[in-house]
Homo-oligomer: A and B are copies of this chain.
Amino acid sequence: MSSIANLDFGRYERRGYPEAVLCDGKSLDQCVHIARTWRAKANEGLNLGTVLFTRITEDKAKAVTNILDGAIWHETARMVAWPGDVPEPSGGKVIVACAGTSDLPVAQEAALTARYLGRSVTELVDVGVAGLDRILAHRETLQSARVIVVVAGMEGALASVVSGLVSCPVVAVPTSVGYGASFGGITALLSMLNSCSPGVSVVNIDNGYGAGHLAAQIAEPQGDTHGTA
């Protein structure tokens, strides 16, 4: 079974961020195989960073945490992290704001990813624009961020509204929350792509992992090797 995967162990060295394993679309056996390979590689003493298993179901999570000692399963975020401890935060502050209760799994996936990649994260929950005062109440907090992840389904208006209030970048995550003409997140996706406020960029529908990863990159501490003019 050695031919089913070709893990990119060098990514942590090359990119500064480790590879993650998208469990969606992989069988239980494949996830187990990958976890074992990872453990073996770590036992060799390679510096691999924290590996994240994303979009993991309960049965896969249990199998993987059985193999990887010290791994933690975050149920709502559908994520297993190994090692499970969050590193000491560095760099700028990340805020994750989500529009509704149903957006929580994606929001938590984003927040956890950013934390495991070394950032400090503040979460704002259920601050959708139907009751505008809920987000306006956090105006100052928002202005203290180095980057804000906005998670919203339905019409996704929160991204534009938040971006208009701050000077930092906004990473917008459309979610599949909604029904009918929300088309599984397409409406929120299109809405965010057409934001009338500059400074908004968009990741795939329900891609909390990607948003958290990007936020961690944006909020990277300046002392790092790259990035000075």
Q: Which of B24, B104, B155 contacts A192 (CB 8 A)?
A: B155
Complex Cα distance, B60 from A111, in Å, reads 29
Residue in B7, B91, B132 whose beta carbon sits within 8 Å of that of A161 in the complex:
B132
Is the pair A11, B218 in contact by a Cβ cutoff of 8 Å?
Answer: no
* Copies of this chain, whole number: 8
Kindly state whether residue A65 has any CB partner on chain B within 8 Å.
Answer: no
Q: Interface stretch among A66-74, A79-87, A183-191?
A: A183-191
**Is there contact, CB below 8 Å, between B166 and A157?**
no
* Contact between B17 and A167, CB atoms less than 8 A apart: yes
Distance of A52 from chain B, by nearest CB (Å): 10
Chain B residues near A226 (CB, 8 Å)?
143-146, 166-168
* A: interface residue count bin: 35 or more
- The reply to whether the CB of A193 lies closer than 8 angstroms to some CB of chain B is yes
- Shortest CB–CB separation between residue A109 and chain B, in angstroms? 12
- Assembled-state Cα–Cα distance A155/B200 (Å): 12
- Asked if A196 contacts B146 (CB within 8 A), the reply is no
Which residues of the other chain, B, contact A193 by a CB distance below 8 angstroms?
180-181, 187, 189, 202-204
Check A127–B6 contact: CB distance below 8 A. Answer: yes
User: Which of these, B30, B174, B177, B217, contacts A169 with CB under 8 Å?
Assistant: B217
